């Protein structure tokens, strides 16, 4: 893996490294997998919120998925013209922003979700006299999960409310199976299949009432997209897959549950051992602010001393994360608290913001050579974009 080359520039530690060649391979693999199953891709760009990555995803995608109107605004700046906001948008200011963007850009398409009468009313109040309507997808959820109606009986009345509202177009159905645990036990898969089947049946039931030529059926996270692909509508639809984590993958959760062969982890974080306070215990200068841990704890993938690659990290186990420290136990003694560099992956989630300002991107043609400055966006956290070094 080129991002484990100890000769790569060390301008600071901890340092997040992105293997651009792996990113581009992952994009190609995912696009082919999706296409072969009669689906199109709208990658969830919240995973990276990095323009250079998103621009690589756009050419082979139907559109992009975002979670917020702020992310939608950033996606538009990066060149996206079809945006699925996988969320209910109810705040009037956000809806007015969407209306203004649709009015100003005839080529722009925006889709939002609805799961309640109150939500439909909130959208209708803003879009009633809009020169361009807002596309609305009926949101189908799971018991104990997040947003979305819970039964087929709720779908018809809600769809009728959308149709009756001026300024709104009933454009399809959206679901999300990823709230289930990331395991492939028979019981878990049965629950996921039940949810995907419900969403498909609701779409087929509502098909005659849709107000667009090609209604959207949207489903699919990064763990169980094969189950989403197994329950596509029987009626005409654009089947939109919303996976996001595939682009960088990981060394843990998604490596174990993803149904797509060939995806490779594209992100690691290099950190320094700064203390060996007890026998068999070492402390790194990276913690919760630098290492994603929302889907499991990081693992060691390699380690160096004085630029030399050491034997693999077997026997080293993360025991605790602090704000800016990680405590590891190891079966082998650490002779020096200084000069050990450990490569530790982030999981392919969305919580690596604390280390993104240290992002180094290695191009496939010139690994290790400074070529540009990359930026990422923290708009979902209400912060401005930050410039990052790229190599």
Q: Are residue 66 and residue 213 in the same domain, yes or no?
A: yes
Would the pLDDT of 371 be above 90?
A: no
Give how many domains the chain has, as a whole number: 2
Instruction: Say yes or no: 46 and 168 in one domain.
Output: yes
**Terminus-to-terminus CA distance in the chain, angstroms?**
16
228 and 373, same structural domain?
Answer: no
258 domain-assigned: no
Indicate if 150 and 114 belong to the same structural domain: yes
Give whole-number Cα distances, 8 to 3, 4, 171, 273, in Å: 8, 8, 49, 18
Q: Which residues form the domain of 312?
A: 2-17+266-347+351-390
**Are 95 and 8 members of one domain?**
no
Is residue 259 in some structural domain? no
Examine the domain organization and report whether 206 and 102 are in the same domain: yes
Cα–Cα distance measured from residue 38 to residue 276, given in angstroms and rounded to the nearest whole number: 54
CA-CA distance, 15 to 286, in Å (whole number)? 9
Residues 174 and 204 in one domain: yes
Domain boundary among 213, 248, 283: 248
Same domain, 60 and 7: no
pLDDT tens, position by position, 287-325: 988 887 777 788 777 777 776 776 665 567 788 999 999
| Measured distance CA(84)–CA(42) in Å, rounded | 8
Q: Coil, helix or strand for 13?
A: coil
Determine the Cα angle at 94 with ends 52 and 207, to 5°.
Answer: 85
Task: Tally the C-alpha atoms within 13 A of residue 384's C-alpha that lie toward its C-beta.
Answer: 2
Task: Examine the domain organization and report whether 207 and 303 are in the same domain.
Answer: no
* Statement to judge: residues 53 and 182 lie in one domain: yes
Alpha-carbon distances, residue 163 vs 90, 102, 120, 157, 170 (angstroms): 18, 19, 10, 10, 6
CATH number (domain holding residue 71) = 3.20.20.10
| In a domain? residue 30 | no
| pLDDT tens-place string over residues 154-190 | 999 999 999 999 999 999 999 999 888 888 999 999 9
The pLDDT tens digits of the residues spanning 326-367 come to 998 877 655 444 445 555 554 444 344 333 434 555 544 444
The model's confidence at residue 376, banded by pLDDT at 50, 70 and 90, is low
On whether residue 381 sits in a domain, the answer given is yes
Q: Quick one: how many helices (H) and strands (E) in the chain?
A: 10, 19
Asked whether residue 180 is assigned to any structural domain, the reply reads: yes
CA distance 23 to 266: 6
**298 lies in the same domain as 243:** no
Q: In this predicted structure, what is the pLDDT of residue 259?
A: 84
Mark whether 206 and 298 lie in a shared domain: no
Query: Which among 52, 80, 50, 78 has a CA at the least distance from the CA of 65?
Result: 80
CATH number at residue 294: 2.40.37.20
């Amino acid at each position: 893996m080129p991002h484990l080359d100890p000769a790569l520039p060390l301008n600071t530690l901890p340092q997040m490294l992105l293997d651009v060649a792996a990113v581009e391979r992952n994009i190609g693999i995912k696009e082919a997998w999706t296409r072969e199953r009669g689906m199109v891709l709208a990658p969830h760009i919240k995973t990276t919120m990095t323009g250079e990555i998103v621009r690589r995803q756009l050419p082979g995608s139907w559109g992009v998925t975002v979670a917020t109107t702020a992310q939608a605004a950033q996606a538009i700046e990066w060149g996206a013209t079809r945006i699925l906001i996988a969320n209910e948008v109810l705040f009037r200011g956000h809806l007015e922003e969407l209306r203004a963007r649709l009015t100003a850009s005839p080529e722009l398409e925006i889709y939002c979700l609805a799961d309640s009468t109150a939500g439909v009313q909130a959208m209708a109040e803003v879009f009633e006299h809009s020169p361009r309507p807002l596309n609305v997808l009926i949101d189908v959820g799971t018991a104990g999960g997040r947003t979305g109606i819970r039964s087929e009986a709720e779908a018809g009345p809600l769809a009728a409310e959308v149709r009756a509202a001026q300024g709104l177009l009933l454009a399809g159905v959206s679901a999300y199976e990823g709230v289930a645990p990331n395991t492939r036990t028979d019981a878990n898969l049965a629950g996921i299949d039940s949810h995907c089947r419900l969403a498909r049946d609701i779409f087929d039931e509502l098909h005659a009432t849709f107000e667009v030529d090609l209604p959207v059926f949207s489903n699919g996270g990064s763990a169980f997209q094969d189950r989403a692909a197994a329950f596509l509508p029987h009626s005409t639809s654009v089947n939109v897959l919303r996976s996001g984590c595939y682009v960088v993958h990981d060394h843990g959760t998604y490596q174990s549950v993803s149904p797509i062969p060939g995806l490779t982890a594209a992100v690691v974080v290099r950190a320094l051992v700064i203390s060996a306070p007890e026998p068999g215990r070492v402390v790194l200068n990276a913690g919760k602010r630098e290492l994603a841990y929302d889907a499991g704890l990081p693992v060691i993938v390699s380690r160096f001393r004085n630029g030399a690659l050491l034997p693999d990290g077997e026997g080293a186990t993360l025991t605790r994360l602090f704000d800016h420290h990680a405590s590891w136990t190891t079966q082998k003694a650490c002779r020096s608290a200084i000069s050990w560099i450990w490569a530790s992956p982030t999981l392919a989630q969305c919580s690596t913001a604390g280390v993104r300002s240290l992002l180094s991107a290695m191009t496939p043609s010139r690994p290790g050579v400074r070529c540009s400055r990359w930026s990422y966006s923290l708009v979902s956290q209400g912060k401005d974009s930050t410039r990052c070094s790229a190599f």
